[in-house]
Amino acid sequence: MSPRARPSRSPRPEEPVRQEDLRPLNLELVFRHILAAGQPISRTELAAATGLTRPTITRITEELLAGRLITETGLARNGRAGRPRVGLTLSASGPAGLGLDIRADGLAACVVDLGGTVRHLAFTPFRYAGRAAADVLAQLAGMTRAAVRAGAAQDLDVVTVTLAAPGPVRDGVVRSAPALGWRHVEAGALLHEALRPLDLPVMVDNEATLAALGELYAGDDSLGDFVYVSGGLGIGAGIVLDGRLMRGARGWSGELGHTVIEHDGLPCPCGARGCLQSYASLPAILGGEPAPAGLTPDVAVTSRAEAGDPATLAALDRAGTALGIGLANALNILDLDIVLLGGSFSLLASWLTGNVEAEIGRRVLTAAWAPVTVRPALLGPDAAVIGAALTSVDQVRRQPSAWLTGGPRARLPSVS
Ligand SMILES: [Zn+2]
């Protein structure tokens, strides 16, 4: 192909915006204002805030009401002239998001409504040893059906399922989850198939990434630059810079568990040696032995630690030091001021935090004058499943007009 034949890179001439293209844009504009208001807002206030005419606001709010995206509160607000006005707010029924999480101690499912309120949260203890990926996904499919039914009973329509998986994920495929023994598991397609005849879109993402999103959503404005470190069968991290997730070039950032803390150290299921995961994950804290029958790994560790078991306390001491070294490496590169201990680490924070802080203080160059806060995640072990459910419903929050027109996905069939 000659250079002349290459497509031109010059921008296309400006084209006027057509009237039919404006409708979804205006609808999304109005919906964003209702979302951002955080409290009931009147049609008059919407007209003032958006610059749209009152008849346009009336038409759009009728559409949003009919699609169950918003509701009239009936709460009277006083307008400028002191007249009571009907408030509009996000609907507590209608579209909802469903999240699933593969945790160290079992499987979790969550449904959130459009406003992000958790409306259903379920947990099933699960032991992964000797279980195929298909077993895990079949169990998750059962929990999904139960969650869809629980949502329907509250007049909520689940629009999408998002699965949190402990490893790097792309296009619905879990590329590697050494802690589960998974390699290249097509979790999205398998779960979608296991859900039939329910035809729900399934997304899969990294659990620490989703948990960081959950924390970002639940936290206050001070939570702008932080690392969420998730402990469990493995260790992952979600990195947020300036209020945005840092996913990396291929979406695989945050594999903190496989950063090296000891050259030629303990072997890791990933094939390398000296990975943080081999010192600070739950299996490492348990000394490589399976949790006793009937106990999940984090219950086994916390109950032994609470009972003062010397071997467990020593293992937690080592784990905290290793975690502090791994985090110090990350903090020296990224300059973050908050570390959130999440997943099972949120339950073990009282035993880990001291050593993590000590290593950060010793090893992060700027720590002497720019302290780093280390604290448990706000949402505790539920951060990832709630973050997954929020990610699911966020599709509707971002593109309300797509929900109203029935695409890109169809509404749920009725579930028996
Ligand atoms: Zn490794």
Q: What are the tens digits of pLDDT across the range 84-111?
A: 678 999 999 999 999 999 998 899 999 9
Instruction: Give every CB contact of residue 364 below 8 A, 6+ residues apart in sequence.
Output: 328, 331, 332, 372
Q: CATH 1.10.10.10: does it fit domain 22-90?
A: yes
CATH of 220-377 given 3.30.470.10, 3.30.420.40, 3.40.50.970, 3.40.50.2000: 3.30.420.40
Mean pLDDT of 147-159: 96
CA distances from 170 to 52, 203, 251, 257 (A): 41, 10, 7, 19
* CA–centroid distance, residue 354 to ligand 1 (Å): 25
* CA–centroid distance, residue 278 to ligand 1 (Å): 7
* CA–centroid distance, residue 341 to ligand 1 (Å): 20
* CA–centroid distance, residue 261 to ligand 1 (Å): 11
Please report which confidence band the pLDDT of residue 4 belongs to, taking 50, 70 and 90 as the band edges: very low
Please report which confidence band the pLDDT of residue 83 belongs to, taking 50, 70 and 90 as the band edges: low
**What percent of the chain has pLDDT above 90?**
71
For the cut 90, the answer to whether the pLDDT of residue 319 exceeds it is: yes
Distance CA 324, CA 340 (A): 12
Strand order in the sheet with 173-177: 169-170, 173-177, 182-185
Please report which confidence band the pLDDT of residue 75 belongs to, taking 50, 70 and 90 as the band edges: low
Mean pLDDT of 283-310: 88
Give residue 381's identity as a one-letter amino acid code: P
Does residue 12 or residue 22 have the better pLDDT?
Answer: 22
* CA–centroid distance, residue 25 to ligand 1 (Å): 46
In this structure, what token pair is assigned to residue 396?
């509707």
DSSP symbols for 88-154: EEE-SSEEEEEEEEE-SSEEEEEEEETT--EEEEEEEE---TT--HHHHHHHHHHHHHHHHHHHHTT
* CA–centroid distance, residue 78 to ligand 1 (Å): 60
* CA–centroid distance, residue 295 to ligand 1 (Å): 25
pLDDT, mean over the chain? 89
* CA–centroid distance, residue 47 to ligand 1 (Å): 55
Does residue 48 or residue 81 have the better pLDDT?
Answer: 48
Q: Which residue has the tokens 């109005």?
A: 30
For the cut 80, the answer to whether the pLDDT of residue 411 exceeds it is: no
Distance CA 329, CA 237 (A): 13
Q: What are the tens digits of pLDDT across the range 359-398?
A: 999 999 999 999 999 999 999 889 999 999 999 999 899 9
Task: Decide whether 94-209+383-404 matches 220-377 in CATH topology.
Answer: yes
Q: Is the peptide bond before 408 cis (omega within 30 degrees of 0)?
A: yes
Does residue 112 or residue 18 have the better pLDDT?
Answer: 112
Q: What are the tens digits of pLDDT across the range 249-282?
A: 888 899 999 999 999 999 998 899 999 999 999 9
* CA–centroid distance, residue 271 to ligand 1 (Å): 6
* CA–centroid distance, residue 235 to ligand 1 (Å): 10
Does residue 250 or residue 412 have the better pLDDT?
Answer: 250
* CA–centroid distance, residue 228 to ligand 1 (Å): 19
For the cut 60, the answer to whether the pLDDT of residue 57 exceeds it is: yes
In this structure, the strands spanning 226-231 and 70-78 are: unpaired
The topology under which CATH files domain 94-209+383-404 is Nucleotidyltransferase; domain 5 (3.30.420)
* CA–centroid distance, residue 255 to ligand 1 (Å): 9
Query: 99: closest CA among 405, 414, 390?
Result: 390
* CA–centroid distance, residue 274 to ligand 1 (Å): 7
- Number of H helices and E strands in the chain, helices first, is 13, 15
* CA–centroid distance, residue 139 to ligand 1 (Å): 27
For the cut 90, the answer to whether the pLDDT of residue 291 exceeds it is: no
Mean pLDDT of 351-366: 97
Q: Where are the domains of the chain?
A: 22-90, 94-209+383-404, 220-377
In this structure, what token pair is assigned to residue 296?
């999940």
* CA–centroid distance, residue 415 to ligand 1 (Å): 42
Q: What are the tens digits of pLDDT across the range 168-192?
A: 899 999 998 877 889 999 999 999 9
Query: 347: closest CA among 284, 313, 305?
Result: 305
* CA–centroid distance, residue 259 to ligand 1 (Å): 7
Please report which confidence band the pLDDT of residue 318 belongs to, taking 50, 70 and 90 as the band edges: very high
In this structure, what token pair is assigned to residue 410?
């169809």
pLDDT number for residue 185: 96
DSSP symbols for 240-255: EETTEE---SSS----
* CA–centroid distance, residue 250 to ligand 1 (Å): 19
